[in-house]
Structure 1
Amino acid sequence: MRSIAAKDYPIVFENEGYIHLNQYLSKLNYSTIFVLVDTNTHEHCLARVLSNLETTVRIEVIEIDAGEQYKNIETCSGVWNALSELDGDRKSLMINVGGGVVTDLGGFVACTFKRGIDYINVPTSLLAMVDASVGGKTGV
């Protein structure tokens, strides 16, 4: 595994990052895993992500519309409502699969839901890999 330390979290570089992700998930006791996707990553990435996750933890998918115009408080509110309706709690994990909109919005939602839950960004675009998924821009 190739990784570098950045603040309080590692940045993992892998072609098949699922191995590392599954090792991470096996060490922690999450109540629910929420996978946040947009309409594009739902169509092109979600099946592969779900088929490679090895966990006994309940997995719920939350989908948002694709596009920069949906990076707004209304979309955040919809995701917060979905987390609440699906019994999200402080021991939940959010995995954000997508480009900058999904990783930015998902990180912000995770940081503000019930005083903050853990989240993992799985960037699917080059810009998200070098910008949106790294750093503290999603905090309040």
Structure 2
Amino acid sequence: MGRIWYFVQTVLGIIFRHPVLGTSIIPVLPDGQIVLIRRRDNGKWGLPGGMVDWGQDIPTTVRRELAEETGLELLAIRRLVGIYSAADRDPRVHSVCVVVEAEVQGTMQIHDEWEITAVQAFKRSAIPMGNLSHDHGRQLQDYFDGKTTVA
């Protein structure tokens, strides 16, 4: 019985005491504009993205989240912008976020109305840097600075 309880505790610790893996996407349209979403939970603008589902890899998650939150199609993942892992970067849960730049196309449309209230393309100079959710301001700044960040 002691070995079984130890095993159960170990499994629960792995599930509940480790960060979850997610992704943020910097979607770049053919005209160079960047697409942001307005979050329903806090009303702020942010990068589309979400948690990696069991059995999925990062590219599949990027494709799925991009379609759900913006209606856009992933053409290519251009580059890794960074991996962000600070325990306080997401107010809901400790998450590790893989941020990628993505070449996208299509018509912007919200498919996940529970999470998203708006989707909009911005020129770099018009991005509301002071009204971004989570650590998306830092992620975008690292992207604009050409950095690949591990933080």
TM-score of the two chains, using structure 1 as the length reference? 0.26
Greater helix share, 1 or 2?
Answer: 1
Greater strand share, 1 or 2?
Answer: 2
Q: Which is bigger in relative contact order (C-alpha 8 A, separation at least 6)? A: 2
